[in-house]
Amino acid sequence: MAAPLAARRGAGDAGGRRGPLLPPLLLALLLARPAAALVEGLYCGTRDCYEVLGVSRAAGKAEIARAYRQLARRYHPDRYRPEPGDPGPGGAPISAEEAFLLVATAYETLKDEETRKDYDYMLDHPEEYYSHYYHYYRRRLAPRVDVRLVILVSVCAISVFQFFSWWNSYDKAINYLATVPKYRIQAMEIAKEQGLLRKAKEKGRNKKSKEEIRDEEENIIKNIIKSKVDIKGGYQKPQICDLLLFQILLAPVHLCSYIIWYCRWVYNFNIKGKEYGEEERLYLIRKYMKMSKSQFDSLEDHQKETFLKRELWIKENYEVYKQEQEEELKQKLANNPRWKRYRRWMRNEGPGRLTFVDD
């Protein structure tokens, strides 16, 4: 009785040991692929490209091109009329369109050195099934134009657009300042002191009309404004180094400069405990105000002096200043007639309510 029981227990143990092996075996059988070198859907399919063109694997480019031209003339759809039992390219009877397409595919595969190298590797290593699919579709779906060239052209186009856009904004700012009496009068006084307006009139007596003289004087005033007024912010004079192309080229330099600056900041002010200079104080104030460098530089000098007098680089002082600015803004809005009318309308009518009032 013990022996049969032991036998059954042993059989059960053996079955339990074999049980976990069955799923991996079944998975391997399901994932198994034929190890044939020629795969349907890749290159010439189940036909050898060399046999389709009737050349050997040692054939050169000239021999492959000659064989392709001969077969292309023979199997062209306008000339080829397959008859029963007539073997097509590669030895299998197919239609005229399929024959011509097969010949063209074989030639496209073998004429390129890289593609031919991948195809020969597939013939020599049929077991690397998924690798052949990867190399085939990677080369087939690869962009025809170098991506680096596309990126370079795009960056250059954006940089050119930036430059002309910024220059247009700068010209608009100069034209506007030329109409402001404060700047126009000062520019005319400078032009008179330098004798530029007199020269323009002297030249215009014999050669130019009044309109031409007026235009020339206007250009003189604008040029003086350009040289004397330092426009900051979004309307400042465009600089080549601000363009996207140069920003990308100079990105490593800026990154290294920032790392060096940050290390010096930590060493001087966090480790050694030095006092902040004027430049460092303005940087902290700009950081608290969440303003870019161009926005902060566009502020008036007296505003920056006020920031320094109130010691806004200290976080607590800046919080007090921020609270004061918010209260001042609320007070201005409370005294603004338009804001009062809006609050009255929101309180009495409100959005989405029906009313018969025309206004």
Say if residue 98 is in the same domain as residue 155.
no
The whole-number pLDDT of residue 27 equals: 36
Tell whether 152 and 217 lie within a shared domain: yes
Tally the domains of the chain: 2
Residue 338 lies in a domain: no
Q: Looking at the structure, tell me whether residues 165 and 82 fall in a common domain.
A: no
Domain of residue 194: give its range. Answer: 148-199+212-238
Percent of the chain past pLDDT 70, that is, above it, reads 74
Query: C-alpha distances in angstroms, 99 versus 71, 74, 76, 94, 303?
Result: 9, 10, 8, 6, 82
128 and 168 share one domain: no
Residue 9, in any domain of the structure? no
- pLDDT at 25 > cutoff 90: no
Comparing C-alpha atoms, which of 132, 164, 139 is closest to residue 45? 132
Over residues 139-165, mean pLDDT? 85
Domain end: 121, 141, 161, which one? 141
Q: Which residue has the higher pLDDT, 109 or 359?
A: 109
Residue at 350 is within a domain: no
My answer on whether 103 and 168 are in the same domain is no
pLDDT over 50 (residue 234): yes
In this structure, the dihedral spanned by the alpha carbons of residues 130, 145, 103 and 133, taken in order and rounded to 10 degrees, is 0
| Per-residue model confidence as pLDDT tens digits over 267-286 | 998 898 888 999 999 999 99
Looking at the structure, tell me whether residues 68 and 89 fall in a common domain: yes
172 and 124 within one domain: no
59 with 114, same domain? yes
pLDDT value of residue 13: 45
Q: Are residues 124 and 104 in the same domain?
A: yes
**Single residue among 103, 120, 141 that ends a domain in this structure:** 141
Co-location of 170 and 131 in the same domain: no
Amino acid occupying residue 5: L
Helices then strands, each counted (H, E), the chain: 18, 0
| One domain for residues 118 and 168 | no
Average pLDDT, the chain: 78
Q: Is residue 190 part of a domain?
A: yes
Q: Which of 84-98, 163-177, 228-242, 334-348 has the lowest mean pLDDT?
A: 84-98
pLDDT at 157 over 90: yes
Average pLDDT, stretch 99-116? 88
- Residue 257's pLDDT is 93
Residue 319: pLDDT band with limits 50, 70, 90:
very high
297-306 per-position pLDDT tens digit: 878 888 889 9
DSSP string for residues in 14-52: HHHHHGGGHHHHHHHHHH-----SS-TTSTTTTS-HHHH
The pLDDT of residue 43 is 84
pLDDT, residue 131, reads 84
- φ, ψ at 115 (rounded to 5°): -65, -40
In a domain, 182, yes or no: yes
- What is the C-alpha separation between 242 and 158, in angstroms, rounded? 12
Q: What is the pLDDT of residue 213?
A: 76
Condensed to tens digits (0 to 9), the pLDDT of residues 336-348 reads 787 777 777 666 6
Residue 116 covered by a domain: yes
Whether residue 179 is contained in a domain is answered as: yes
Q: What confidence tier does 19 reach under pLDDT thresholds 50, 70, 90?
A: very low
Query: Tell me: the pLDDT tens digits for 250-272?
Result: 999 999 999 999 999 999 988 98
Check whether residue 155 and residue 193 sit in a common domain: yes
Q: Residue 255 falls within a domain, yes or no? A: no
What pTM value is reported for the model? Answer: 0.48
220-231: per-residue pLDDT in tens? 888 888 887 766
pLDDT over 80 (residue 176): yes
Q: What average pLDDT does the segment 239-254 reach?
A: 88
- CATH at residue 111: 1.10.287.110
By C-alpha distance, which of 150, 116, 118, 144 is closest to 132? 118
pLDDT digits (tens, 9 = 90+) for 50-64: 988 889 988 898 999
The predicted pLDDT at position 202 comes to 59
- Higher local confidence (pLDDT), 357 or 188: 188
